[in-house]
Amino acid sequence: MNTNIDSLLNSLADQTKAHLEQLGEQSPLIVGIRTGGIWVAEHLHRALNLSNTIGVLDISFYRDDFSRLGLNPQVKPSQLPLDITDQNIILVDDILHTGRTIRAAMNELFDYGRPASVSLAVLIDRGGRELPISAQMVGDAVELPAHQHVKLTGPEPLALEIITTD
Amino acid sequence: MMQHFLTTESLSLDQLTSILDTAESFYKVDGRHVKKVPLLRGKTIVNLFFEASTRTRTTFELAAKRLSADVLNINVDASATVKGESLLDTLRNLEAMDVDMFIIRHQDSGAAKFISQHVAPGISVINAGDGRHAHPTQAMLDMFTIRRIKKDFTRLKVAIVGDLAHSRVARSQIHALRTLGTQDIRVIAPKTLLPNQIETLGVQAFQNMEEGLSNADIIIMLRLQKERMQGAFLPSEHEYFNLFGLTPERLSLAADDATVMHPGPINRGVEISSEVADGNQSVILEQVSNGIAVRMAIMSLLAGGQS
Amino acid sequence: MKIALKHAHMIDPANGIDRPCDLYICDKKIAALDTAPEGWQSDKVLDLSGHTIIPGMVDIATHLREPGQEHKATIASETFAGVAAGITSMVCSPDTNPVIDTPAEVEFIQQRSQFSAYCHVYVMGALTTQLAGEYLSEMAALKQAGVVGVSNSLHPLANNLVLRRAMEYAASQDLTVFFHPHDHHLAANGCMHEGANATRMGLPGIPTAAETASASTCLSIIEDTNVRVHFCRISTQRTLQMLERALYDGAPVSADICMHQLFLSDEDIHGFDSHYHTIPPLRSRSDLEGLRARLNSNVLMSLCSDHQPHEPDAKLAPFPATEPGISSLETLLPLTLKLSQETSLSLSEVIALVTTKPAQLIGIDAGKLNVGATADICVFDSQQEWQLTAENIQSEGKNTPYLNQTLQGRVTHTFVEGELVYQLTS
């Protein structure tokens, strides 16, 4: 797995530019998923030289494990323009694993309105999907065994680490 | 995980803070176009009110619906129990319908505790007011309101004015304030409405507005019920207002930036003058909207992490 | 039947006995003490080494729930619980349904007792008809039917004039008035002692004055009329002090205290547990200590159980909505023993308060173990530790805060009129 952050971010930015050209979209809404996804989204936003505001999603209220784990009291509010109808959204997260976070994020997005399209950009796709979710823009992809996890630490400096559990 | 929410008395500083923090996050949900989150989707919440109350019940209902829960409103007429169905039978009948949470308001102190001891495992109970004992969700929304305005509880001077003897709200507020670090709490009431040995709760008792309000940062006015004239507690609303009503003159004895609160509904001209109730130091309406976020927080904290 | 009780320690306060002493029963009476009578042949010998013998206890305050409240308990069930608890004489309260205000109800209880009671049952008559506090009951007829006194229980009298008339009339029939000092207006809808704990719990309080004001009024009437009055279930220090002073000044007064008032206070009421809901309420810690300090007071003629058995539903509701009362026969002995350990009273002095003194109060020939006395005897093991559980409690009422607590002192044998009516089977 490529752990060179700069190289990953550059690759992601290039892929996103190409994707936006295909879409014919010059001013997409970049939405980062708290917390790691926001750091990546901010870099992407700068790299794309966008003038609009970045959106922030906190998916705590949309998780599917609420019954088991309860509510995280550190929920910060999501920040999105009140109406996202007809916007082309680039949803950004740090690590793509089971796909459940993205499912929750999309449910929340659609409570805000009806976007024209939602594309997904992730820094690392580490495999292990449990839902039919895929990313259009991927920094690096690798299949990790179940007992290994990737974590993005930050915001300064951003760094990737692989954690092994028993 | 908390199983029930019955009093503020039993809660630690961490637990109280956690509720306030969670309420803060729900506060923003209200500003959204879609005011719902799917947290309690598929859950059934029952408002089991043995004492009539439109406003509290409506707030709970709104809060539950914003969490995407299904809500059942049961008003148990006092006469229904006279007809013979015991409190426990009412409860069992409802449980047979597979509900997840009860919100209870009852005229007897200790009723919420009693119900929590007899519900099936996994069902949560929220106390929406039991007799004169506790009204913890109201106290929490008051603490939330205070925290948003004043930030620091430890240096506050808080005055609670009115019918302390019959007030479950006041008792819950006092416990919460003390745990959150407030040391200077005054209760102001005529002798007949001051509970026996109220000082043991950690407050100073005054029978005089002028003394009790001096430099207060927060003034919480309590409602005076008409029955108090019947029970020989007070001669008249008129005399009560003359001695204990919050007028602009009395308000000026408090701190310059004092905040006026009231759990509602207010009796204009009895405990508070219209000028003060509608004035710019009053946050009475904010309390109402805060109530929804706080109740959403409490319901979420109870419902999560049960399995 | 000739029975010998050997090797036990005997405490008989009436006769000043507190030493090892053998006891010989012949038919219904005590035939001899220490040594067997000449030519004695025992039909049965009980080796009671390690045990204590006392007179069968006399409990002046019990609710037997017949007639009319059989869903709570019956004469049969509660008298059996009584003998299991070492009590051989019980006085039943008049607040049954119907109320015991005519000879018919007295006779009903006497006949029911003859048929189904395990011990002696004495009847307290109602002071006013229906206990409604307005009209005098036919006290002469009640006296003739055999009541040991008249009482209005906790029901109010319409006014002080009716109280005075009722007292005077009772006195004219040579009946002691058993008066419960309880001012209903001051008590209002209170269910707990008015104090810091009631304030914190938001429970309506019963002020001390609800007892003292009522007692004081009655004492004033006694000063004018010299009527003999026994004051029931005193719960506050102030009332007992008032009664002591009145006795000292020559008033014909006496008092009793219910046993749990000497062990429980309002501080023990946790989590709105309705087992602690009683009227009069459990008072403050200082009242408890004040009462304990005055147990050798001359005015105190009895300790009692104030036994109030209830069906489970009566206690299954929020605290203020429950019925007050504790099922307390079976804790009487262990608490009596504990009282002597925890206060300056000797065991003999405390036992006097549950045997000879209450017997004198109600005018019955009981509570003593002299030769010729009726063989009503309680034998217990003072060292045995045991737990009162829902399974082994004999009363129909399981409503006691002492359930599942460890108690010390257990009744092993009870004799009524020479017959072994109860024996502990391990």
Do B264 and B187 reside in the same domain of the chain?
Answer: yes
CB contact under 8 A, B22 and A75: yes
Given CA atoms A47, A49, A53, A55 in this order, what sign does their dihedral have? negative
Residues in chain A with CB shorter than 8 Å from the CB of B303 are: 66-67
Nearest-by-CA chain B residue for A80: B32
- In this complex, is the C-beta atom of C363 within 8 Å of any C-beta atom belonging to chain B? no
Domain that holds residue C417: 2-52+374-423
Domain A5-164 fold is Rossmann fold (3.40.50)
- In this complex, is the C-beta atom of B78 within 8 Å of any C-beta atom belonging to chain C? no
Q: Are B and C close enough to touch, i.e. 3+ CB pairs under 8 angstroms?
A: yes
Nearest-by-CA chain A residue for B29: A77
Residues in chain A with CB shorter than 8 Å from the CB of B306 are: 67
CB contact under 8 A, A67 and B37: no
Q: What whole-number distance in Å separates Cα of residue C144 and Cα of residue A110?
A: 90
Do C172 and C293 reside in the same domain of the chain?
Answer: yes
DSSP at A79? B
Nearest-by-CA chain B residue for C196: B197
Q: Determine the residue type at C77.
A: S
- In this complex, is the C-beta atom of A149 within 8 Å of any C-beta atom belonging to chain B? no
When divided into structural domains, chain B yields a total of 2
Secondary structure of chain B as H, E, C letters? CCCCECCCCCCCHHHHHHHHHHHHHHHHHCCCCCCCCCCCCCCEEEEEECCCCHHHHHHHHHHHHHCCCEEEEEECCHHHHHCCCCHHHHHHHHHCCCCCEEEEEECCCCHHHHHHHHCCCCCEEEEEEECCCECHHHHHHHHHHHHHHHCCCCCCEEEEECCCCCCHHHHHHHHHHHHHCCCEEEEECCHHHCCCCHHHHCCEEECCHHHHCCCCCEEEECCCCCHHHHCCCCCCHHHHHHHHCECHHHHCCCCCCCEEECCCCCCECCCECHHHHCCCCECHHHHHHHHHHHHHHHHHHHHCCCC
Inside any domain, residue C269: yes
β-sheet bridge partners, residue C206: C193
Do B267 and B144 reside in the same domain of the chain?
Answer: yes
So which residues of C are the catalytic ones?
306
Other residues' Cβ atoms within 10 Å of the Cβ of residue B288 = 16
The C-alpha of C212 sits at a distance from chain B's nearest C-alpha, in angstroms, of: 18
Number of continuous H segments (helices) and E segments (strands) in chain A: 4, 7
User: What backbone torsions phi and psi does residue A21 show, to the nearest 5 degrees?
Assistant: -60, -45
Q: What whole-number distance in Å separates Cα of residue B67 and Cα of residue B64?
A: 5
Q: Are A and C close enough to touch, i.e. 3+ CB pairs under 8 angstroms?
A: no
Of C251, C339, C249, whose CA–CA distance to C294 is shortest? Answer: C339
Optimal mutation site among A59, A61, A110, interface B, most CBs of chain B within 10 A? A61
Of A61, A69, A76, Cβ closest to residue B305: A69
Do C75 and C195 reside in the same domain of the chain?
Answer: yes
Sheet holding C29-33, edge to edge: C29-33, C23-26, C2-6, C44-47
* Six token digits for residue B194: 């001051």
Nearest-by-CA chain A residue for B66: A61
Neighbours of chain A (3+ CB pairs under 8 A): B
CB contact under 8 A, B87 and C318: yes
DSSP at A53? P
- Omega within 30 of 0 (cis) for the link into B265: yes
Do C385 and C311 reside in the same domain of the chain?
Answer: no
Answer yes or no: is pLDDT of B13 > 50. yes
Whether C57 contacts C354, CB under 8 Å: yes
Whether C293 contacts C244, CB under 8 Å: no
- In this complex, is the C-beta atom of C170 within 8 Å of any C-beta atom belonging to chain B? no
Optimal mutation site among B11, B33, B301, interface A, most CBs of chain A within 10 A? B33
When divided into structural domains, chain C yields a total of 2
| Mean pLDDT computed over every residue of chain A | 91
Q: What whole-number distance in Å separates Cα of residue C184 and Cα of residue C210?
A: 7
CB contact under 8 A, A71 and B28: no
Residues in chain B with CB shorter than 8 Å from the CB of A76 are: 25
Inside any domain, residue B1: no
Inside any domain, residue B164: yes
Answer yes or no: is pLDDT of B307 > 50. no
Q: What whole-number distance in Å separates Cα of residue A21 and Cα of residue C239?
A: 95
Other residues' Cβ atoms within 10 Å of the Cβ of residue C219 = 21
- The length of chain A is 166
Inside any domain, residue B8: no
Inside any domain, residue C384: yes
Do C44 and C84 reside in the same domain of the chain?
Answer: no
The C-alpha of B155 sits at a distance from chain A's nearest C-alpha, in angstroms, of: 25
Residues in chain C with CB shorter than 8 Å from the CB of B106 are: 318
Inside any domain, residue B2: no
The C-alpha of A56 sits at a distance from chain B's nearest C-alpha, in angstroms, of: 13
In the prediction, which pLDDT does B148 show?
Answer: 96
In the prediction, which pLDDT does B1 show?
Answer: 65
Answer yes or no: is pLDDT of B79 > 70. no
Residues in chain A with CB shorter than 8 Å from the CB of B296 are: none
Do B111 and B197 reside in the same domain of the chain?
Answer: no
Q: What whole-number distance in Å separates Cα of residue B223 and Cα of residue B232?
A: 17
Do B197 and B296 reside in the same domain of the chain?
Answer: no
CB contact under 8 A, B109 and C200: no
Do C145 and C46 reside in the same domain of the chain?
Answer: no
Other residues' Cβ atoms within 10 Å of the Cβ of residue C43 = 10
In the prediction, which pLDDT does B306 show?
Answer: 56
Instruction: Give me the residue label for tokens 């025992």.
Output: C42
Q: What whole-number distance in Å separates Cα of residue C260 and Cα of residue C8?
A: 29
Inside any domain, residue B4: no
Do C9 and C119 reside in the same domain of the chain?
Answer: no
Q: What is the CATH number of the domain that holds C17?
A: 2.30.40.10
pLDDT in single tens digits along all 426 residues of chain C: 999 999 999 999 999 999 999 999 999 999 999 999 999 999 999 999 999 999 999 999 999 999 999 999 999 999 999 999 999 999 999 999 999 999 999 999 999 999 999 999 999 999 999 999 999 999 999 999 999 999 999 999 999 999 999 999 999 999 999 999 999 999 999 999 999 999 999 999 999 999 999 999 999 999 999 999 999 999 999 999 999 999 999 999 999 999 999 999 999 999 999 999 999 999 999 999 999 999 999 999 999 999 999 999 999 999 999 999 999 999 999 999 999 999 999 999 999 999 999 999 999 999 999 999 999 999 999 999 999 999 999 999 999 999 999 999 999 999 999 999 999 996
B156: Cβ–Cβ under 8 A, 6 or more apart, which residues? Answer: B146, B150, B177, B182, B184, B217, B218
Inside any domain, residue B295: yes
Residues in chain B with CB shorter than 8 Å from the CB of A73 are: 18, 21-22, 301
Given CA atoms B254, B260, B264, B267 in this order, what sign does their dihedral have? positive
- In this complex, is the C-beta atom of C198 within 8 Å of any C-beta atom belonging to chain B? yes
Query: pLDDT digit string (tens) for A7-44?
Result: 999 999 999 999 999 999 999 999 999 889 999 999 99
Do B265 and B149 reside in the same domain of the chain?
Answer: yes
Do C40 and C62 reside in the same domain of the chain?
Answer: no
Using CA atoms, how far residue C37 sits from A115, A143, C28, C109, C125, in Å, is 110, 103, 16, 38, 42
Using CA atoms, how far residue C309 sits from B298, C79, C95, C328, in Å, is 41, 12, 13, 8
Where is A7: in which H helix or E strand?
A: helix A5-23
Domain that holds residue B125: 13-135+288-303
Of A67, A74, A113, Cβ closest to residue B21: A74
CB contact under 8 A, B25 and A62: no
Query: pLDDT digit string (tens) for B241-261?
Result: 999 999 999 999 999 999 999
Q: Is C272 left (phi over 0), alpha (psi -120 to 50) or beta?
A: left
Inside any domain, residue C213: yes
Nearest-by-CA chain A residue for B42: A67
* Six token digits for residue C9: 């320690």
Optimal mutation site among C186, C194, C199, interface B, most CBs of chain B within 10 A? C199
Neighbours of chain B (3+ CB pairs under 8 A): A, C
Where is C3: in which H helix or E strand?
A: strand C2-6
Answer yes or no: is pLDDT of B82 > 70. no
In the prediction, which pLDDT does B81 show?
Answer: 55
Of A79, A77, A89, whose CA–CA distance to A120 is shortest? Answer: A89
In the prediction, which pLDDT does B89 show?
Answer: 85
- In this complex, is the C-beta atom of C161 within 8 Å of any C-beta atom belonging to chain B? no
Do B153 and B274 reside in the same domain of the chain?
Answer: yes
Q: Residue A65: which pLDDT band, with cuts at 50, 70 and 90? A: confident
Inside any domain, residue B155: yes
C39: Cβ–Cβ under 8 A, 6 or more apart, which residues? Answer: none
Q: What whole-number distance in Å separates Cα of residue C344 and Cα of residue B244?
A: 52
Q: What torsion do the CA atoms of C171, C173, C175, C177 make, to the nearest 10 degrees? A: -40
The C-alpha of C29 sits at a distance from chain B's nearest C-alpha, in angstroms, of: 51
- In this complex, is the C-beta atom of C199 within 8 Å of any C-beta atom belonging to chain B? yes
* Six token digits for residue C252: 């014909």
Where is A32: in which H helix or E strand?
A: strand A29-33
Inside any domain, residue B5: no
Query: pLDDT digit string (tens) for A116-129?
Result: 999 999 999 999 99
Collapse the DSSP code of C136 into the 3-class scheme (helix H, G, I; strand E, B; otherwise coil) and give the result.
Answer: strand
β-sheet bridge partners, residue B159: B186, B219
Question: What is the rounded average pLDDT of the residues B224-242?
Answer: 88
The C-alpha of C319 sits at a distance from chain B's nearest C-alpha, in angstroms, of: 6
Of C202, C313, C317, Cβ closest to residue B132: C202
DSSP at C155? P
DSSP at A147? T
Do C239 and C327 reside in the same domain of the chain?
Answer: yes
In the prediction, which pLDDT does C420 show?
Answer: 97
Q: Residue B34: which pLDDT band, with cuts at 50, 70 and 90? A: low
In the prediction, which pLDDT does B31 show?
Answer: 65
Q: What is the CATH number of the domain that holds B163?
A: 3.40.50.1370
- The length of chain B is 307
CB contact under 8 A, A69 and B25: no
Do B108 and B120 reside in the same domain of the chain?
Answer: yes
In the prediction, which pLDDT does C377 show?
Answer: 98
Q: What whole-number distance in Å separates Cα of residue B220 and Cα of residue B160?
A: 5
Of A67, A71, A44, A41, whose CA–CA distance to A59 is shortest? Answer: A71
Q: Is the interface score ipTM higher than 0.85?
A: yes
Per-domain residue ranges of chain A: 5-164
Residues in chain A with CB shorter than 8 Å from the CB of B38 are: 61-62, 107
Strand residues in C293-355 grouped as ranges (E): 300-304
Inside any domain, residue C367: no
- In this complex, is the C-beta atom of A39 within 8 Å of any C-beta atom belonging to chain B? no
Using CA atoms, how far residue C265 sits from B201, B207, C291, C367, C401, in Å, is 19, 30, 12, 30, 12
Strand residues in C69-206 grouped as ranges (E): 87-92, 120-126, 149-151, 177-179, 192-193, 205-206
- In this complex, is the C-beta atom of A71 within 8 Å of any C-beta atom belonging to chain B? yes
Angle between helices B284-303 and B136-150 (to 10 degrees): 120
DSSP at A76? P
- In this complex, is the C-beta atom of A157 within 8 Å of any C-beta atom belonging to chain B? no
Do C289 and C189 reside in the same domain of the chain?
Answer: yes
Of B22, B38, B307, Cβ closest to residue A73: B22
- In this complex, is the C-beta atom of C272 within 8 Å of any C-beta atom belonging to chain B? yes
- In this complex, is the C-beta atom of B87 within 8 Å of any C-beta atom belonging to chain C? yes
User: What backbone torsions phi and psi does residue A42 show, to the nearest 5 degrees?
Assistant: -65, -45
Do C37 and C150 reside in the same domain of the chain?
Answer: no
Q: Residue B83: which pLDDT band, with cuts at 50, 70 and 90? A: low
